[in-house]
Amino acid sequence: MPIPILIDTDIGDDIDDALALAVALNSPEIELVGITTVFRDAPRRTLLVRELLHLWNRKDIPVCAGCSQPFLTDLQTFPHGGPNVGKQFEALDPTLKAEPTQHAALFLIDQIRAHHARGEVLTVVPIGALSNIALAFALAPETAQMCRIVMMGGKEKEADALGWGRAEWNILCDPEAAAMVFRAGCDLKMVGLDVTLQCILSEAEVAQFRGTNTPRAHFLADLIALWSHDVILHDPLTVLTLFADLVSFEPRRIEVELCGEHRAVTKPLEGAPNCLVAVDVDAERAKSLFLERVLGR
């Protein structure tokens, strides 16, 4: 039986969100029951989701906009993320307007409860800020124990190529929401930056998108060109872990620092584990499976 999943995404910034959705849509092991959007104009992000679903002939999948604002962070003072953030929206018809939707947190609650009532566990896959997930758990605390969370975010090691103590983007976007999710007592897996950074596509691998003569591959190639940075499989790897044995996980106790110079850093602490954390990946197998699924081979 396919695994029922719901993807919560900040699509439109880094290219990896669109690629993660493509993996999910091309994988028979997965039943994608809904997509929700989060962070900085969440309704606008639904437009890019709907364009992708149109190309995949999957307009039946519900799409709901969620929290555009973090719980406490003032977006006026928040780092924009670089000149390429949001450039993927250039691929859209500028006259398109976002449709009103049920709020993502309420949709998430409904889906978790509905699957639980059928004796199923919904896997929620956050690949952006955790605002929608935290809000859902705040509104309906019992749902935290009814679902499974497999998230892209944080990092397990304090020292890495990015510098000691630097926070990962998805956690930085809403540290309070992330702290709430880690403390919710849910079945939680974390695929962190120190592991996903091992999965970078080569120029030859990226060229396969343009060399694959399908509208879907060319649409993704156009988005990659707008991104114009290295293509790192942060979010696609997270989706691949749902059905492929590519990543090693170990139990950890993770807390999110909320104060001081290390705000938003995911810190491994002593004590009872509250999640499984990715510690290693077979990067070549991961890239090969990713290309196989996304390019429809």
Give residues with Cβ within 8 angstroms of 101, minimum separation 6. 43, 46, 63, 64, 65, 107
3-state secondary structure of 204: helix
Residue-wise DSSP of 68-128 = SS-SS--GGGS----TTTTGGGGGS-TT--PPP---HHHHHHHHHHHHHHTT--PEEEE-S
Are the beta carbons of 132 and 104 closer than 8 angstroms?
yes
Q: Is 234 a catalytic residue?
A: yes
DSSP state, 282? -
Q: Output the CA angle 55-58-63, nearest 5 degrees.
A: 105
CA angle 126–127–129, rounded 5-degree value: 80
Cα distance between residue 3 and residue 190, in whole Å? 18
Closest residue by Cα to residue 268 from 280, 281, 259, 277: 277
Enumerate the active-site residues.
234
